[in-house]
Each structure stands twice: as C-alpha cells, then as structure tokens.
Amino acid sequence: MRDFVTRSIQNIIQSALALGLLAAGLAGSSCKPRPTAKPDQNSGPTKVETCLVAINNDTNSAIEQFLEADLTQGKLFSRENPLSYAEADFAKLDRSSRDKVFQKATSELTAAKKLARAVKERRDHARSSGDTALATKCNAQLSGFAERLQGPENLKLTQLVGAAIKKMAAE
C-alpha cells in the first residue's frame, strides 16, 4: 500500500509540474521576481521550515517539533521559502527564476512528504501500542498540515502534496 501511495504522490507531483510549467510559460516572462522581506519583518525560518530541515538529520526531533507546532496560526513558510509563492506569483517569474524556485520547492516538498510519513508512522505505532492521545495528536497535526498546504494561497504542486497528506491522515 505504501508503494502505491508513494507512486500516486509522485504521479501527482509530475502532473502538477507539467501544469505549473505550462501555466508559467503562458503567463510570460516579463514580470520581476517578488521582493524579499523588508528588514523590519521577521525573516527567520518558521517552525514548519525548521522541521523540514531537521527531518533529514534527526527524525525524532523533527517529529517532536512538528507535533508541538501551532499550525493554525501564522504562515507555514517564510517569504524566503519557495513554498511561500502563490501560483500567480510563481507564474510571473521569468523562466530562469521559475526553474530555480521549482527546484527548491520540490526539495522542500520532498522533505514535507518525508515528515508526513514519519508522523504517520509515529501515529500508527501509537495506535498499535494503545497510546490514543499521541495517535490523536499525530493525526490532528497531519490533518492540519494537509489543510494548510491545500490552501488557495499555495502553489498547485503544494496543494497536491497537501491532498496526498490528507489521504495519509485518513488511513
């Protein structure tokens, strides 16, 4: 089943990539990249971004940070993160910038999927060992993460990954 879900997610990502690149190509390349954050804005990584970095080094720490993060408040991604782009903003970038943003976004989404799978495994283990409180918390975070990723302010690709994570949470 896991291989089927993984293949499904990969197929969704490939389809979204093709659609995103097509839409971006149709939008033209005369627009400038969006400005970076103003100096007075908090430009540090968000809690979710910290988890996405940690997942490649310390899975347990990443899961713990993720389970403690408030996913209902604030932005999931800082302005410097490629996942902070809305589809319309992404389409306005010139081709070179789109390619760079897309590569970084794909890397971030790979980390997001890895984090979601790890949280799902923690949830499943908690269920099997009778820790309903932890299982419920893991599932709530997965569902909340999926919901936020599916928001209309996100890239279509991010929304598709959110849909896949939503399915994970429903298993």
What is the Cα–Cα distance from 76 to 73, expressed in whole angstroms?
Answer: 8
- DSSP H or E stretch at residue 170: helix 156-170
What is the Cα–Cα distance from 146 to 102, expressed in whole angstroms?
Answer: 20
The dihedral region occupied by 74, where left means phi > 0, alpha psi between -120 and 50, and beta the remainder, is left
Residue 18, pLDDT score? 43
Number of domain units in the chain: 1
Per the structure, the complete domain to which residue 86 belongs is given by 2-28+45-170
Evaluate whether residue 99 is within a structural domain: yes
Residue 43 DSSP symbol: -
Evaluate whether residue 33 is within a structural domain: no
Evaluate whether residue 36 is within a structural domain: no
Evaluate whether residue 61 is within a structural domain: yes
Residues of the chain falling short of pLDDT 70: 1-43
Strand ranges inside 58-137, DSSP E: none
Evaluate whether residue 72 is within a structural domain: yes
Q: Which amino acid is at 87?
A: E
pTM above 0.75, yes or no: no
Evaluate whether residue 38 is within a structural domain: no
Residue 44, pLDDT score? 84
Q: Are 43 and 80 in contact (CB under 8 A)?
A: yes
Evaluate whether residue 56 is within a structural domain: yes
Residue 58, pLDDT score? 93
